């Protein structure tokens, strides 16, 4: 019988020797730094050179990180992220799907095709592509975790524009469907649903659009903005052995916003 002390030790937030994906800014950067501080080897994937600064910070503290630069809605970049992780670190243990953009808070009638397609491509298709590319490696190992970044918007329809709201609702579907399909194989898939977070994500706004006026009243109860490292800590928990029986869950991380 396993010693309770040994079981407790095994379920700590310890990622020593594990390989994880992260990013170069916002929640993704905080997540990369958090995993690295707990012993993980990190591939920092980012659309621009932000990844270099995150890698330098990881290396200064004795961690290991490698960059992949490019648009994660591009299958070629997705393949490079997974291949770099597997080839350089000997496998993949944790995939964090965090890349995202905000559309303007556009109502459906104000939304043009380009904004819709770009929002869906980055916020939903990119996590799908990465998940599909990562699964063969996780399933072959019979273990691992995927953590998706959904949104408080995933749980309601009144705090953001249509394209963003639809894309983040889709993340819940991706999370739950994938979790059910692979729950008996040792691979877990969960999501965090943050509210307002202090990051550099940009929110556009079309002049005269319906959305801003309608949604503003619902955003008044958002409360304080979370710090990116608060989300990173939750992501690390869901990816860790401490969450070994948590699967298919969408965890709100927004200081009680949905309870108001």
Helix (H, G, I), strand (E, B) or coil at 23: coil
CA distance 226 to 247: 24
| Cα–Cα distance, 186 to 237 (Å, whole number) | 17
3-class secondary structure, 179: helix
- Residue 192 CA to residue 32 CA, distance in Å, equals 16
The string of DSSP letters for 114-168 reads HHHHHHHIIIIIHHHHHHHHHHHHHHHHT-EEEEEE--GGGG-SSSS-HHHHHHH
Of 164, 194, 209, 211, catalytic: 164
Angle separating helix axes 126-141 and 162-182, nearest 10 degrees:
10
**Rounded distance between C-alpha atoms, residue 39 and residue 157, angstroms:** 39
Active site residue 164: yes
User: What's the burial of 106, exposed, middle or buried (CB within 10 Å: 0-12/13-18/19+)?
Assistant: buried
Residues forming the active site: 164
């Amino acid at each position: 019988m396993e010693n309770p002390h040994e079981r407790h030790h095994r379920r700590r937030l310890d990622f020593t020797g594990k390989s994880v994906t992260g990013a170069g800014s916002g929640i993704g950067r905080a997540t990369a730094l958090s995993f690295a501080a707990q012993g993980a080897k990190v591939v920092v994937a980012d659309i621009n050179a932000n990844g270099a600064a995150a890698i330098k910070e990881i290396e200064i503290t004795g961690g290991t990180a490698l960059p992949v630069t490019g648009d994660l809605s591009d299958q070629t970049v997705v393949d490079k992220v997974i291949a770099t992780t597997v080839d350089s670190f000997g496998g993949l243990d944790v995939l964090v799907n965090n890349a995202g953009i905000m559309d303007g808070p556009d109502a459906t009638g104000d939304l043009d095709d380009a904004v819709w397609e770009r929002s869906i491509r980055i916020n939903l298709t990119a996590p799908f592509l990465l998940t599909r590319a990562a699964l063969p490696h996780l399933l072959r190992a019979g273990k691992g975790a995927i953590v998706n970044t959904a949104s408080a918007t995933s749980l309601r329809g009144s705090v953001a524009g249509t394209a963003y709201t639809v894309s983040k609702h889709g993340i819940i579907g991706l999370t739950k469907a994938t979790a059910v399909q692979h729950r008996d194989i040792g691979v877990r898939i969960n999501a965090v649903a943050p509210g307002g977070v202090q990051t550099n994500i940009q929110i556009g706004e079309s002049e005269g659009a319906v959305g801003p006026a309608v949604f503003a009243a619902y955003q008044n109860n958002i409360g304080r903005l979370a710090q990116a490292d608060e989300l990173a800590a939750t992501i690390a928990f869901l990816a860790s052995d401490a969450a070994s029986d948590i699967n298919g869950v969408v965890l709100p991380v927004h200081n009680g916003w949905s309870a108001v």
